[in-house]
Amino acid sequence: MQVLPGAKGMLNYHPLFVHFPIAFWLAALLFEALAVWRSSDEWHRTAARLLYLGTLSALAAAGTGLLAEESVPETGPASHVVEIHMVLMLVTTSAAVGLCMFAFFMRKKFTPGLRKLFLAGLIVLAALLTVGSDRGAQLVYQYATVGALAGSVEVASYAPVGKAPGDHRTDHRRGGARCWAGYSRNQAPAKGLRCSAMEKGQRYCNRASRGW
């Protein structure tokens, strides 16, 4: 009996770390907004500590994210999304490091004006975080880059006129099932082609009605 079967089925461990900076940074924004509103030094210190924790966890997330690139196909639309996600999150983490330095070195003379500037920085950080995290969610839910499907990939028993089932390509990277319906960067999959991945029942990867 496996103790952590969910972790064993992951293609990479990046998702185990990504939620911590999201939670810490957004909490820091909330507490700093309250600190500005209530002119509270204690809430400002809490916001700074949350920012520090979020940045430390973001460094761990960045490291595992760079390693997670191996579980994504080198060609195709997912690789393009990975590049966007990586750049956005590295920029976000760099901005967080800058805010940490600002909060630490100015901690003994944080005037109301500096507190508002710090709040503005946290708002920008949250905006970058939102856009970058969205690309990460796209990789998970649209391209399934974190879970390993143990079953084989079966080609649908039919194909549209002019295309044969043999035109399907499958990429089993580290046990992950990828359904590529004759995809290329300049040509969308032919309408009607379907792939299905089977694992303990039926788990479908259906691209018949939408592009990659």
Which range, of 17-26, 67-76, 89-98, averages the lowest pLDDT? 67-76
Inter-residue contact 71 to 145 (CB < 8 Å): yes
Token digits of residue 146: 């974190």
Nearest to 48 by CA among 8, 131, 104, 2: 104
Nearest to 11 by CA among 51, 52, 69: 69
Q: How many alpha carbons lie under 13 Å from residue 113 in its C-beta half-sphere? A: 0
pLDDT band for 155, please (50, 70, 90 cuts): very low
CA distance 205 to 102: 47
CA distance 39 to 165: 67
Q: Which has the higher per-residue pLDDT, 27 or 190?
A: 27
What pLDDT shows up at residue 39?
93
Residue 124: other Cβ atoms inside 10 A: 13
Q: What pLDDT, in 10s, does the model give residues 188-209?
A: 443 333 343 333 233 334 333 3
The string over 140-178, giving b where at least 16 C-beta atoms fall within 10 Å of a residue's C-beta and e elsewhere, is eeebbbbbbbeeebbbeeebeeebeeeebeeeeeeebbb
Q: Which has the higher per-residue pLDDT, 186 or 39?
A: 39
Token digits of residue 26: 């957004």
Q: What pLDDT, in 10s, does the model give residues 158-171?
A: 333 344 444 433 33
What is the rounded average pLDDT of the residues 123-152?
A: 79
Residue 153 one-letter amino acid: V
Q: What is the pTM of this model?
A: 0.67
